[in-house]
Structure 1
Amino acid sequence: MPSFQFFKRYDSGSLTYLDVDSATFADEKTQLLEQGFEVANNYYIQAATAEEALTLAAQPQLEALDSYGALTQSMIGVYELAKEQIKKVRS
């Protein structure tokens, strides 16, 4: 099943996608980023068609999971920093 990554220009609201499995994915992604597009989410969406992937990308649950993932990563960073500070205090 194909995987898609979505890109958005927040100034204009333009949305596009790339097929992650394409041989030209890396080059096309670089071109989009240079044109002012940003990665719309931090995950790939597997779907039979681009239209199905777009429907899945629009679901609020995925947006919530993306936010939760970012928060979790931040909390891990805070935990690691606190752990290092405790080690320094103990030694």
Structure 2
Amino acid sequence: MGILSSLKSLFSGSGASAKAYPSESHKQFTITPAPIAANGQYRIAGTISKGEGDSQQVHQFIRSDTCGSADQAAELMLMKSKVFIDQMGDDVFN
């Protein structure tokens, strides 16, 4: 698979895990894991959002790390997102 098609599949969401994971709140942010299936592994991915309606901001959180299961990837996504929020605050959306 070429680089372009790899990137397309990564960002198209076609490899997203079929299981829906519950969102978790952290410092007024909402973290929603959405692991992406990648070559028999699962990429750490999901969204970080803040606010509601027209004022809602959303950041696509995708990392190169992979795990053996979607559940592990979801757990790591929550952990890494919390650290990211703690370090960046509202700059997550810049």
- In the superposition, the TM-score normalised over structure 2's length comes to 0.30
Q: Which has the larger radius of gyration?
A: 1
- In the superposition, the TM-score normalised over structure 1's length comes to 0.30
Higher strand share: 2
